[in-house]
Structure 1
Amino acid sequence: MDSARDDTRKSDIIIDKIDVQHNEEALREADRQMSPWQCLRQNPKIVLWTLYANSKLLVRSKTFATEVNGQLIIPAYWQSAWSAMYNVMMIFGSFTAGYMQDWLGRRSVLLLGSIVAAAGIAISFVSETPPQFLGGKIVTGFSVGLFTTTTQTYVSEIAPLPIRGIALSVNTIMMNLGLLLAIATSFSRVAIMDKSAFRVVFAAAWAFPGIIAIGLPFLPESPTWLVFKNRNDKARKALEQLSGPNENIEARLAQIIDNVETERRLHLEAASFAECFKGTNWRRTRIILICFYMPQVIGAVLSSNAPYFLNQTGLSSSTVLMLVQVGIAAGVISALFNAFMMMKFRHRPLMFFGVGVCVAMYFTMGVAAAFPKTNASLLVIGVALVFTSISYGPAVGASMAVAGEVSASKLRAKSLGIGVAFSSIVSTIWTIILPYLFNVDQLNMGGHIGWIFFVMGILMLIVLYFDVPGTKGRTFEELDIMFELGISARKFEKHKLNEGPVDTK
């Protein structure tokens, strides 16, 4: 009986909401008619704040090795311990961010992340043993969990509709640039065999939390968070600080208030992690989990170990260095190119394309591993692995855009916190397993690892088709209604809210 009354209440709210939407049609239509290029030109401050918020992702972790039989080797147990604890602390950081963002706001969590990151870099800077370095990884991992969750939440709430997907994919560009910077700084010190070799690299990393800390006093708070806290005057001021001169501030503020009030009426329960797993919110959370598993499908952990992995397969160090540099450059180009592709194409086709490229590369790797170990077969394995980076832009970039858009506004911080935590959990599992799969003193699978990721890619294509909708061009209000109506993933992009019967299959 209570369930029936609840369904009736939600149906009435949806009808009222659709009626209200007709009154807001002018604002929505203006967003849809504006091209991404026009939006970028009219909102330079939002573009700069998006880049600023993502700048912490430029920091990449580094490792060091010990010599065994004349060869530098990182013991598998230390590889696993460093990576696992880093990811475990990302889990704690993401859940902490989920709570603290709703309590203190987005800016406060970014400040905390800057302080913790600086402390983690300091520990890594002074470390001289693997256990000491583990301490640095633990602290840094917590800060990355704080930053990743908060950044995506903040960007999703300030970016205008025409560039929201592009803005949410900036983190992919920054991660690739961070990897490029890490490789460049590390290789510049590789011939120096004293303590300054790694300490200079860690010292350089202090620049990024420093940038965040310096810019925070000028960063406008999220208008959506301020509205949730009933601080509408401050939300108006934040919109004025973020927006271009041609923005209709009052109309935009009214849109945010209307969205927040509709969510409050549809979901009377207080925002909590448990609420993310109930009713239509569970479908949204499931989509976020799928999107956050995307980096593992394309082999992010394996790619991050590419220099060591390829060296273990038998490729020469000079060849490995060349391949890694080419692969990183391809990843950066892919991420940048994807920003343009997201202006032209929908999210689902981009994700399908990215995963499809990855499947082809891992298939090539597995086939090459079946041949006798020669320079040619090893080179094919290396080329196939490093060029999976081509899929980073469309696969990860588009999936991060979807993940940032599908959650309910009041649950966004917690939903993305769950997503980042899940990503850290599965990343931890892979970082523990992979060294034992490819180390020469363990299973020594070599290129046969490609078959594992080939199968995962095929499964991801199936899941994408049936369960992950395209959200490009949809306002948060429209997404709320469509999830309540149960629109199927395949019908999401073409569905019109004012059309007749709903197709949920």
Structure 2
Amino acid sequence: MAATADQDVESKIQHNVHQDVYDEKAGINTFKADAIEAENAEYNMTVLEAVRAYPMASFWAFVMSCTIIMESYDVFLMGNFLALPKFIEDFGVVSPLTGQKVVEAKWQSALQVSGQLGALIGVFLAGPLTSRIGYRWATLTGLMLLNVFIFAMYFAKSLPVMFVSQLLEGIPWGIFIANAPAYCSEIVPLRLRAPATQMLQMFWAIGSIIVGAVTYHYNDINAEVAYRIPIALQWMFPTPLAILIFLAPESPWWLVRKGRTEEAAKSVERLGKKSTVHSSETVAMMRRVIELEKSEKKPNHVELFKGTDLRRTLIVCGVYAAQNLTGNLIANQAVYFFKQAGMNTETAFALGLITSALQMIFVMLSWFLTTYYGRRSIYLWGSAGNCVLLIALGIAASVGGGKAASNAQASLGLIVSVLFTLGPAPASWVIIGETSAIRLRPLTTGMGRATYYIVEIPCIFLASYMLNVDAANLGGKCGYVWGGTAFFCLVVAWWGLPEMKGRSYREIDIMFKRRIPARKWKKTDININDDE
């Protein structure tokens, strides 16, 4: 009897163990089935269906993108100040060549790189900060700091103080520019990743339009308000944005990374319509990708340069760096370039404003191009077009003086600035948002933007040297230099930039792990059941 009782107990234990194993397997199968269901749902959506299903995701991506206005505003503000008569009168020196006042080339360069130096610090702070406290609180921290730092700029009475105040303002910019593309790409479904991240370029253009309109209005006023009011207008942005971002949902991907799946589900429900969005399935899809990338280590910068993550980091850094080498600097210094091309002050400011308005329109056109034709194709064709136009700009400046040559240079400068926002610039934001691993995304976007500034800072000095009448005074001949760098970037992109259009984050992870060459991505099929 005792033996029989022992056998019964042992039999029950084995039955319970088998039942637990079965339940665990059933749970895993259900989890994977939910993940597959959510991924298929995103694949099968059209762009309009995605907008209808996730209306608030589009809205919050729009709000986060607004933070880019502030960096754009100040970058273009300093460029426009260098062409503003009252600013030149107060801070310039008499040129021995022309007998007229100009801001010295060293200060032209210093003022334009000061914000970038601060942003370089900001992007390195952004990755660890965001990984720890999330996109919302990191962005709110930057907005509150910016409110304080604007005071230093507004009351500055000398170029050194302006330099330092710009550097301080740059620190929050670095946080915004690192977080915005990552947050936007994480809160929207697959079909909306391109337009959501490309909004960043549109808001860059909006910032330049606001600056262009303000400085155009004040360019003929002979008083300090000509540059003080444009500085003070920076206070329009931080507080209203801080209120909105405080109310915004945290990225569900970030919450899942932290193991806060219930909060992630609530975040998904806030981003989409409850009637069409199945939050449990969407969170399962996120968990599946994060399990694929799972590591015992905390995310750190060293990982960005190991294994397959090295390739992803190089793509993000390369795309960011190329923005400075394919026409961007002519766009950022458009007003000063137009003056150097022979336009009078009022015409130069008017052309700068027209350029910014056209850029915004062309960014909107790029939404359709990258959504339906892909990232790689638009990036390569846009870069090739800019390369040709930059060489043409150099030729126009080499054929002689006269009004016709000046008009040709101004026209080509305008076209280069506008075409840049149709192809390479907006496609870059999509590529940056999609390439990095979910686990390392805040660090990768921060490192990429750091590369942007590291390349941009010497390029600004070079651009100022090439354009300044007291230095090289090349004018439109700088097109030869930028045309050469644009061609180099085009060749590297053709060789190493993959096409990620229509790919889920799971597929992107798998394709990088399989080391598929960039030019074969478009033709490669990944099975929906693959988890390797």
Determine if the TM-score, normalized by the shorter chain, exceeds 0.5.
yes
Matches within 5 A, 1:98-137: 98-137=127-166
Are the equivalent residues in 1 in contact too, given 2:114–2:164 (CA < 8 A)? no
Q: Distance in 2 between matches of 1:457 and 1:200?
A: 37
Q: Distance in 2 between matches of 1:337 and 1:411?
A: 31
- Structure 1 unmatched runs, 5+: 1-16, 500-505
Q: Distance in 2 between matches of 1:345 and 1:76?
A: 43
1:343 CA displacement: 2.5
Q: Distance in 1 between matches of 2:32 and 2:195?
A: 25
Deviations 1:387-435 (A, max 9, x none): 1122213211112101111111110000000011110111111112211
Are the equivalent residues in 2 in contact too, given 1:436–1:442 (CA < 8 A)? yes
1:467 corresponds to which of 496, 499, 503: 496
Are the equivalent residues in 1 in contact too, given 2:43–2:502 (CA < 8 A)? yes
Q: Distance in 2 between matches of 1:382 and 1:20?
A: 59
Which residue is equivalent to 2:121? 92
2:446 matches 1:417 = yes
1:279 corresponds to which of 284, 307, 310: 307
1:378 corresponds to which of 400, 403, 406: 406
Deviations 1:80-129 (A, max 9, x none): 11222211111110010001001111111111110122122222111222
Which residue is equivalent to 1:270? 298
TM-score when scaled to structure 2?
Answer: 0.87
1:21 CA displacement: 6.6
Q: Distance in 2 between matches of 1:73 and 1:257?
A: 58
Cα distance change, pair 479–194 in 1 and its aligned pair in 2 (3 A): same
Matches within 5 A, 1:39-50: 39-50=50-61
Which residue is equivalent to 1:366? 394
Which residue is equivalent to 1:215? 244
Which residue is equivalent to 1:226? 255
**What SS is found at the alignment partner of 1:114?**
helix
Matches within 5 A, 1:450-465: 450-465=479-494
Which residue is equivalent to 1:249? 279
Could you tell me which amino acid in structure 2 is paired with residue 221 of structure 1? E
1:287 CA displacement: 0.4
Stretch deviating more after TM superposition (91-100 or 125-134): 125-134
Deviations 1:317-370 (A, max 9, x none): 344234323322221111111112223211111101211221122121011111
Cα distance change, pair 467–19 in 1 and its aligned pair in 2 (3 A): farther
From the CA coordinates, give the structure whose radius of gyration is larger: 2
Identity among equivalent pairs (%): 26
1:42 CA displacement: 2.3
1:258 corresponds to which of 288, 294, 307: 288
Are the equivalent residues in 2 in contact too, given 1:309–1:438 (CA < 8 A)? yes
Tell me how large the CA RMSD over aligned residues is: 2.0
Matches within 5 A, 1:70-469: 71=100, 73-245=102-274, 246-264=276-294, 267-388=295-416, 389-469=418-498
Which residue is equivalent to 2:66? 55
Cα distance change, pair 445–19 in 1 and its aligned pair in 2 (3 A): farther
Q: Distance in 1 between matches of 2:278 and 2:34?
A: 15
Q: Distance in 1 between matches of 2:145 and 2:399?
A: 48
Q: Distance in 2 between matches of 1:183 and 1:18?
A: 57
Q: Distance in 1 between matches of 2:54 and 2:404?
A: 50
1:19 CA displacement: 12
Q: Distance in 1 between matches of 2:347 and 2:147?
A: 35
2:63 matches 1:35 = no
Q: Give the length in aligned residue pairs.
A: 481
Q: Distance in 2 between matches of 1:23 and 1:44?
A: 23
Q: Distance in 1 between matches of 2:412 and 2:280?
A: 52
Q: Distance in 2 between matches of 1:181 and 1:462?
A: 35
Stretch deviating more after TM superposition (247-256 or 132-141): 132-141
1:270 CA displacement: 2.9
Could you tell me which amino acid in structure 1 is paired with residue 380 of structure 2? F
Q: Distance in 2 between matches of 1:494 and 1:28?
A: 20
1:383 CA displacement: 0.8
1:307 CA displacement: 1.5
1:191 CA displacement: 2.4
Are the equivalent residues in 2 in contact too, given 1:294–1:396 (CA < 8 A)? no
Q: Distance in 2 between matches of 1:75 and 1:166?
A: 41
Could you tell me which amino acid in structure 2 is paired with residue 410 of structure 1? R
- Structure 2 unmatched runs, 5+: 1-27, 82-86
Which residue is equivalent to 1:3? none
Are the equivalent residues in 2 in contact too, given 1:159–1:167 (CA < 8 A)? yes
Q: Distance in 1 between matches of 2:322 and 2:206?
A: 19
Q: Distance in 1 between matches of 2:217 and 2:67?
A: 22
Deviations 1:123-168 (A, max 9, x none): 2111222122112211111111011101112112111101112211
